[in-house]
Structure 1
């Protein structure tokens, strides 16, 4: 099950904490002391640390990850947060690709089904509230700039498109396509009763014309 067990016990400061993170230099380790230094000394706010770990912003020891540093770019922060949410709540997005558009009640019901009774009703309420609160600060429609997994995926898609194009050319009645030009190849077969002659000829054609 890909549902994080970390959740917020209060949501009122979530946006302010995220904004403070963007405005501050990344610490060597994100600790309770660092959070207090950002202006959030409440014990309820400390639950944000485990949520940041679940989102892939911090490793298990609290050291900021590359995602954390990407989040500091305020032109990309909402997109980076959306990536973290999709990854952390992967199972929720598998049952509903638009999970970010669901209300808290629907999210809670889906989480209840996915968790198969592992959490109490109160905990599920907090988990659903955490998800919907984070979603408010994320951009699920934007695309990250500067390379990354999306660029790799685009490259893979281009390769697949090229493969499909070559397959279409092979089925195009013996026509070879180069760029936007299509050439028709007319072949005059020699007279022969030996099948090996034709086999060798067609084999050569396949090798040279693809």
Structure 2
């Protein structure tokens, strides 16, 4: 059953708590000391840690998750919060895809049905209050910006190859490098051998 057991007994500091997270450096562990350091020492505010876990902002060890860090991007915070609410209250959104628009009494009735009488009226009231106040701070209409999109580099243009006519061959060499080629001449008294050799050199190297 995807209905969080975590809830707040008072939501008066909920918006301020979320705003404080956005402007603070993420902790290694979101413990009570860190919460008090944000300026929320009340025992009611301690329940906020469990709510963050249910929203997927903290793992079971109370360490910030990827969603927590995504929430720190203030241009995406409300959208990320909406994603967390949809995941935390998955069964409720399966019953009503627009559950974020339900009134508090309707939410409580849905919780009562989904929990099959597991919770008291007092607890259901606080669960409904927590959900309704969370959705007020979230953006369910906007789509999240794509994350980790692959960057496609511009294709490099193919190098232009200069066509060389048969009567204009390139000289052997790379940039500023020049090569000295030594040729061991064969021993022969026939001048035709040397004529053929030099014709071949002229054809392939010059």
Q: Structures share a fold, TM > 0.5?
A: yes
Per the TM alignment, residue 144 of structure 1 is displaced from its structure 2 partner at its CA by: 1.1
Per the TM alignment, residue 146 of structure 1 is displaced from its structure 2 partner at its CA by: 3.1
Mapped partners of 1:146, 1:38: distance in 2: 30
Q: What is the TM-score normalised by the length of structure 1? A: 0.70
Q: Secondary structure at the match of 2:122?
A: helix
Mapped partners of 2:25, 2:108: distance in 1: 35
Moved over 3 A (4+): none
Aligned residue for 2:6? Answer: 6
Aligned residue for 1:100? Answer: 100
Mapped partners of 1:30, 1:147: distance in 2: 25
- Alignment map for 1:16-165 (pairs within 5 Å): 16-147=16-147
Per the TM alignment, residue 68 of structure 1 is displaced from its structure 2 partner at its CA by: 0.1
Mapped partners of 2:106, 2:47: distance in 1: 23
Q: Secondary structure at the match of 1:44?
A: coil
5+ residue gaps, structure 2: 150-206
Aligned length: 149
Q: What is the TM-score normalised by the length of structure 2? A: 0.71
5+ residue gaps, structure 1: 152-210
Mapped partners of 1:5, 1:65: distance in 2: 20
Mapped partners of 1:127, 1:91: distance in 2: 14
**Highest Rg: 1 or 2?**
2
Q: For residues 151-202 of structure 1, give each alpha carbon's deviation from its aligned partner in whole angstroms, at most 9, with x where no partner exists.
A: 8xxxxxxxxxxxxxxxxxxxxxxxxxxxxxxxxxxxxxxxxxxxxxxxxxxx
Aligned residue for 1:170? Answer: none
Mapped partners of 2:41, 2:25: distance in 1: 19
Mapped partners of 1:73, 1:19: distance in 2: 11
Mapped partners of 1:44, 1:124: distance in 2: 17
